[in-house]
Structure formats: structure tokens, C-alpha cells
Amino acid sequence: MLRKKVDQLTIQEKIGQLIQLTGNFFDTHNDSVVTGPQKKIGLSRSYQINNTGSILNTVDKQQIREMQRTHLLKSTHKIPLLFMADIIYGFKTIFPIPLAQTCSWNFPLIEESATVLAKECYEAGIHVTFAPMVDLVRDPRWGRVMEAPGEDTLLGECYAESMVNGIQGNGDAQHIPKGKLAACIKHFAAYGAAVAGREYNSVDMSESMLRNFFLPSYAKGIEAGAKLVMTAFNTLNGIPCTGNKWLNRDMLRDTLHFDGVLISDYAAIDELITHGYAENQTSAAKQALLAGVDIDMKTAVYANKLEKLVKQNQDLHALLDEAVLRVLMLKNDLGLFDDPYRGIQTEEDITNTILSKEHKETALKLAEESIVLLKNNNHTLPLSRNQKVALIGPYAEEKATLGFWAITGDEADTITLKDGLHALLDTSCLSVARGAYLLDKHTENLYDKYNDKLPVESEDEETLLEEAIAIAKTSDIIVLAVGENTYQSGEGGSRTNPVLPATQLRLINALSTLAKPIVLVVYGGRPLILTEVEEKVSAILYAWFPGTMNGLAVANLLTGKANPSAKLSMTFPRSVGQIPIYYNELRTGRPQLDEENTHRFASRYIDQSNLPLYPFGFGKSYTHFQYSDFRLNQEEMTKNEQIKVTLTVKNTGSYSGKEIVQLYICDKVASITRPVKLLKAFKKIDLKVGESQRIEFEIDNNMLKFYHPDGSFDSEHGDFDIFIGKDSAEHLFKRRIRLVSKHNT
Ligand code: GLC
């Protein structure tokens, strides 16, 4: 039926299905579209706007309804428009940024957050969301680590699968049910490995590194049924991803069996010219079509150049028909041919759950489980009820805690930390002062079109500092809320030195001379380098950008109403010089055996430790978990057997709490060098005070496999070390197991 529909279309109508524009091209009250946006992107005057296939980032249901109605009225083919948007971690109920969410290691809860995201988008009439972003990241200089699942392949796979299931529904049905959207896996591929952490920079890596570390999260999202994939801006080994036939046809379609829609990133087809990979728009159009890109996001390349190309070349016309068919299949999977409005044609149709109590409760729970307790000397936390608290810092009353990609969130809905603490502490016990600017003076113009979104600092800095010191002196404890600004993070937010602003460091230094315990609450979209401040404070709670429920989640954790359980999904460096630094590094011939070893000829620095400030998998709790009684049912296995690992975890502290028990494996000898360790399993458990639980892990052959240079995915016989720990650095149990072809009788 759909192929017949394709055959009935003119070439212009076919090409139109591959064009994605923004809503301003459909402003029927504005006849300057042709001289305005159309001219701006160089779309030829002969292009028929009503042939367009999809719209980018129109998110208002009245506008969507009106645009669809007008389009169906005016278009000859009557094929409904697709509405796609960047709803990455929440539509109106904004969840923590993805890099924070994966610190929860609670993927059922992450899936629930994606279900909420989909429901709220569905009510607005959105059909596709450009989420989840699943780029593996190892470099906190890169601004987009905030929207990534972190440095670990397994967590990246869990995140991809949970998000696709939450957004699309995890049924096997081809059709996407009501209340759900189509998900888009991005950015294909390895965008997170940009050289020097500099935005849009080139990516160069072996196929072994690509297959074993960077591709699995995309593959898992595709396996979960994601309907779209988005190309990455970067080159991969010298070829721009958007024009990369090997990557998009051989790898994505043939090896990963993706049969959905491949959409370019914003203007990426035109950028093939800027990359120096295409000579002009004609060659860019041909390269992108040959590379399997179906939709041209927001450039004129396909619209202006494909017609002539396909008229001259039947093979290209066949590729065009293939691409159009995939777009129509996506529209059909969304049920648009039956109901172009997907249930929002009238206000009566819509059950309004946006920012509902239930949605906010889910957001609160995920925020509480995403915020990491990095330090808590002498049980500084939780706060006690009768303590006099001085809440100080530019984030004390800041509402911009949603993160860079919350483009539809309203900061007005956000709970500030002051609100949160006021809800839990006696007002007489809480005093508040800003203490310092959020950003250093004279840096307000670094953020381009976001400059006017920065906080306006009205007071004199000296006055702010004096006020802070004054309330600190009359308090028992200081809660110091600091951090980088939202626009120092996110796309285009690469930083050479990801530290706290100097104005905030000055505040921390001044307060640290008062001999009062300081609890540092840090906001940010990346692992900031805290080495300079770490020894000046008693406790550190890393809030990331926690979303709409910010202040309540942080206050619940500060007061012990909730017990921190999050564990880092990305390593915190001691210094910029260590970057990229990540736990699962490959082994070397001259390892630094231990910190005390100063032997020169080892893989080490002479001016800094190799160790991170905080390792992957690290996070503290208010309670204590004791690990004991570690057992293996056998110490060797064949490829079709498993080894059972069991241990007991007991809550020996005075708070109930959650613990994330982690299992790592090291392949001792293999035909390519393997990492010092790899996370292969984890369990998040909830234990009351005094409660114990027997944990079981099952090691199977799949956990021991890796991609070989010839593309095969298999394990190799030999020795493996297994580690059970609270994080990637602290091993409570270590044992050697063996993979054998057969048991010696
Ligand atoms: C942006 C981002 C991509 C986003 C797209 C549409 O530049 O790279 O993640 O989905 O453009 O806004």
C-alpha cells in the first residue's frame, strides 16, 4: 500500500517528504516566507512548502493542529506532516539531565521518566523526539556530556533501551500506541569522542575501539526498536558521518540491522561542503543519499538538488524511493494516515497530565536517586533539625537548574533550593545570602544568543560577600550552593578548564576561614574539577542539573528525608591534564603499580597522580553496607556454562538506604589488549537498618566476548579476574576464573 503511494507521487512530492523545516516556514499569516526563511536557507522559490514532510521543534498543540489542517487542505498528496522535537529529558516535567539520571543506575525509573516525557509530548501533538542521545563520553571538556549516559558501555546500553521503551512502548507492535512517540537514537556515531573535547571536532579511532566501546549503546537502542537514528556532525576517521556510506549503510543498516529513518543533524548535509568532503550542494546531495540519509534537516540541499540528480540516474531514483518509503512507514507506524492529529484534534480529546502530581513525584524520585554524595566527613550530613543553617551561594535561589536541553521546560515551575529547605526546616533556622555572582564579571558575553538568559547581578560583589560572611558567622553550618551556568554546558559549551567560576572560588575560600562546617552543593552539566575546593569543605553533594524538582530533591537529601544512593556514571578528574580519564582504560606494558611507586619508567605523570578525584561508580550513603560471604559455585566454565557469584550485603549503619553492587571483569590475556576492567553487571538493592540480602550474579560467555579486528564477536579461552565492589576502584572481592574448552576430568 505504501509503496503504491510512493509510486503515485511526483518527484517533487517525493523529495518534499525528505525535507524538514521549522514552523516559521508555515506561517500562513506571513507572506514573507519566501523572502524570509526560504531565502535565508537558499530554498529555491520553486519549492512547494506544502510538499514538506516534517517540521522541527514546533511544540504548541494549537499550532500543530492548525499547521496539519492547513497542510492537508493545501497539499495535493494529503500525506500528513510529521512533528519532531528535541525533548531529551522532559517536556514540561523536566527530569535530571541524562548524565545525572544514569548515576541512579535505576533504569526502570529512567524508563518511567521517558514514559512521562512521551505522555506529555503526545498531549502537545509531537510525534517524534530526538532522544535518547547515547553518545559514550570520556571528556568533560565537551559541553554535551550533560545529555549523554556517561563513560560506560553497559550503562549506555541500559539507558538506550530504557529510554526507547519508555518513549515508544516496549510492545512488539509495529504501530506506536497512543501516549507514545517515535524515538531517535543519536548521534551516529561517536560524537562524544571529539578531539580535545572541542565541539564538532573530528573523531578518529580504531574500528575495535568503535565496536567495543562506542557502538553498543546505539546498537542496543536500535535493538529496542528505535524508529529513527540521527547522523553526527563529526567526521569519523576522516569521513563526515552524514556522508559516510560505510558507517550508515554497511554498519548501521547491514550490521546493526536498522531499517528505520536516518535523519541528518541540523544542516549537516550542507556541512559536507564545509568539511571539504563535497564540492557543492549537488555532490553533497548525492553523497548523503548514497550514504543512506533519508531526511535533510533544515537545509536546501535535497530540495534544490535531488530532482536533477534522480532524473539523470535511475539508481539514485531508486534510493530516493527507498528513503520516501521509510518516511511513509514511520508516518504509518504513528497511525497518521488514520488520524493525522493523533488524538489531539479537539481539546476534549486531551487528558491533561502535564506537570501532574504523579509526574512530579517521578521527577522527584529520579532526582533524589541521581544526586551524588561525594564527601561527608564526620557525618556532617544529614542536617539536624535544630541546626542553624546559612544557605549561601548563587544557586541558593536559582531557577535555571533544568540544563541546556530542557528547551520546552519553564524555569518558573522549578523549586529552588531555598524553597526546598524552607519546606523542611524551621524558618528561624534558615538564613539566606547570595554571596557571589554566578558567573565571573566580564564573561557575560561568551554565550552568544544565550547572553540575555544569564542572571542579572544587581548587587555589588563585596556587599554580597559581606552579607554571606555575616549570616555564616551566626549559623552552625553553611550550605553553599555553587556551580557552572547552564550555558557553560550543552551544545557549543566546550570548556578548556571546567572549574567553578573564580567569583565562587573566592566565596568558598572566604567562608572556609570561618571554621564552620561547609556542605558544598554543586550544580553543573559535567564533572567539574573540584580538586581546589575539595579539602576546604566537609561534604559535597553533586546535584548536576536536577530538573523541575531541584530544591525539594536536594533538601530531602540534605535533611536525610532521602538517603543518597547515586554512583558516578562518569569519572571526575583531578586536573584537566588527566583528560580523557575513564575507568575502563586499556592495559599498558608499564602500568603504574601503585600511587607510592615513583619509578620513572611507568605509565604515569611526574606532576599529578593517575588517579581521578572521584572514580566511576563512586557515591556515598548516610548508612554503611558490609559485603561478606563471597562465593563462586565453580572457578572454570565452558562457553555454554555459567559461573554463579554470590555474596551478602548488610546495612550496618543507622539509615535505610540503597546500594549499587558492581561486578567488573578483566580479561587477562587476549588477542587484542583488553581494559583493566569492565562493568559487566550490577544490582541496586534497598536495605533497612540491620537488613541483609544475598546477592547473586551469573557470569556467562556473553560477558566475556569482545569484537575482534575481523568483526567477529566472541570470547577467548583463558583467565579472567572478577571484582565485586562499591565502585570501579574499591574491590571488596577479587577472584580468578577460567574459560575452558572442556573440563579436565
Ligand atoms: C542540534 C543537535 C541535535 C538536535 C538537532 C535539532 O544541533 O545536535 O542533537 O536534535 O540539532 O535541534
How far is Cα 41 from Cα 33, in angstroms, rounded to an integer?
11
How far is Cα 323 from Cα 302, in angstroms, rounded to an integer?
12
Question: What atom of ligand 1 comes closest to residue 187's alpha carbon?
Answer: 9
Q: What tens digit of pLDDT does each residue of 495-543 get?
A: 999 999 999 999 999 999 999 999 999 999 999 999 999 999 999 999 9
Which residues touch 435 (CB under 8 Å, ≥6 apart)?
392, 393, 394, 396, 464, 465, 467, 468, 480, 507, 511
264 alpha carbon – ligand 1 mean position (Å): 9
Which residues touch 289 (CB under 8 Å, ≥6 apart)?
302, 306, 309, 316, 319, 320, 323
Would the CB of 266 count as within 6 Å of ligand 1? yes
Looking at 334-433, list the stretches that DSSP marks H as alpha helix, in order from N- to C-terminal side. 357-370, 417-424
DSSP secondary-structure letter at 342? Answer: T
Question: What atom of ligand 1 comes closest to residue 233's alpha carbon?
Answer: 8
**185 is written with which cell numbers?**
537514537
Q: Output the pLDDT for position 39.
A: 83
> Ligand 1 pocket test: which of 56, 86, 404 has the largest number of ligand atoms within 8 Å of its C-beta?
86
Dihedral of CA 239/244/246/247: which sign?
positive
116 alpha carbon – ligand 1 mean position (Å): 22
Total Cβ atoms within 10 A of residue 475: 21
How far is Cα 714 from Cα 705, in angstroms, rounded to an integer?
4
Q: How many residues does the chain have?
A: 745
How far is Cα 277 from Cα 397, in angstroms, rounded to an integer?
48
Would the CB of 491 count as within 6 Å of ligand 1? yes
Would the CB of 86 count as within 6 Å of ligand 1? yes
Residue that has been written with the C-alpha cell 568483526 in this structure: 711
Would the CB of 130 count as within 6 Å of ligand 1? yes
Enter the pTM of the model: 0.98
265 alpha carbon – ligand 1 mean position (Å): 6
Would the CB of 144 count as within 6 Å of ligand 1? no
Question: What atom of ligand 1 comes closest to residue 298's alpha carbon?
Answer: 6
Q: Output the pLDDT for position 124.
A: 95
Would the CB of 135 count as within 6 Å of ligand 1? no
Shortest-distance Cα residue to atom 11 of ligand 1: 266
149 alpha carbon – ligand 1 mean position (Å): 17
Question: What atom of ligand 1 comes closest to residue 184's alpha carbon?
Answer: 10
Catalytic residue among 86, 139, 265, 296: 265
55 alpha carbon – ligand 1 mean position (Å): 13
Is 265 catalytic? The answer is yes
Q: Output the pLDDT for position 77.
A: 93
The answer to whether 267 and 299 are in contact (CB under 8 A) is yes
> What residues of the chain score a pLDDT lower than 50?
none
Shortest-distance Cα residue to atom 6 of ligand 1: 266
Residue 15 exposure: Cα atoms within 13 Å on the Cβ side? 26
Would the CB of 186 count as within 6 Å of ligand 1? yes
Strands (E), 396-505: 430-433, 477-483
Question: What atom of ligand 1 comes closest to residue 86's alpha carbon?
Answer: 10
